[in-house]
Amino acid sequence: MTCLPRGGRPAEALEAVEASIEDYWRLLLVEYGVAAGTKEENDLAGMVVADTSAFEWRVVDAALGRLSCTECGGELGAGPTSCESCAQADGFRFAARETDKPATPPGTEHGLRVATAVARARHRYGVRARCGFELGLPGLLEGELPSTPRAQACRAAIDKLTEEECERVTSFEEVARLSSRRVR
Ligand SMILES: [Zn+2]
């Protein structure tokens, strides 16, 4: 489980998404008759990662989390950005299926998947990028997809914050409050 340093609702949302990722994995184990913690589980993870387009993104994320990178030794797809093997695995991650939940705007699930990937491997992203994605997690989890103008306004507000503030804020409201006080 990833502990999101900024805490607050984004951390709670990430915890909920990670729990759902584990739920999807458990269902896959049942489907394939595989026991957790066995070599077969590792083989199944390898099979999923070999053809990510055949599986839901939560299953793919769970599989990647169970495999180690042969190049950097970290979690596959989540190592340092200099690791080519992780870069390739992270690219394949995004070929996985994403199914929008009923009554949510198309693309919400994609947004949630991307925000989750950023929050779980935050060292791979810049301070401002991960701030935007992580703060977006709670809304996306509730099925809200921000409009393009709203997303742009959030990005512009984040740009006015210091890096330290970007790492500390836990909501877009807080970003708006801080950014309204400065001119830049
Ligand atoms: Zn690696």
Looking at residue 1, what is its pLDDT? 78
Q: How far is the CA of 77 from the centre of ligand 1 (A)?
A: 6
88 CA from centroid of ligand 1 (Å): 9
- What is the predicted pLDDT for the residue at 184? 54
Give residue 147 CA to ligand 1 midpoint distance, Å. Answer: 35
- Give distance in angstroms: CA of 90 to centre of ligand 1: 10
Instruction: Please tell me the distance between residue 173's alpha carbon and the centre of ligand 1 in angstroms.
Output: 36
**Distance (Å) from CA 75 to ligand 1 centroid:** 7
For position 69, what pLDDT does the model report? Answer: 97
| 118 alpha carbon – ligand 1 mean position (Å) | 16
- C-alpha 67 – ligand 1 centre gap (Å): 10
Task: Tell me, in angstroms, the distance from the centre of ligand 1 to residue 87's CA.
Answer: 7
Q: Rounded to the nearest whole angstrom, what is the distance from the C-alpha of residue 49 to the centroid of ligand 1?
A: 14
pLDDT at 135: 97
3-state SS track over the chain: CCCCCCCHHHHHHHHHHHHHHHHHHHHHHHHHCCCCCCHHHHHHHHHHHHCHHHCEHHHHHHHHHCCECCCCCCECCCCCCCCHHHHHHHHHHCCCECCCCCCCCCCHHHHHHHHHHHHHCHHHCCHHHHHHHHHHHHHHHCCCCCCHHHHHHHHHHHHCCCHHHHHHCCCHHHHHHHHHCCCC
- Tens digit of pLDDT at every position of the chain (184 positions): 788 999 999 999 999 999 999 999 999 999 999 999 999 999 999 999 999 999 999 999 999 999 999 999 999 999 999 999 999 999 999 999 999 998 899 999 999 999 999 999 999 999 999 999 999 999 999 999 999 999 999 999 999 999 999 999 999 999 999 999 876 5
pLDDT of residue 2: 81
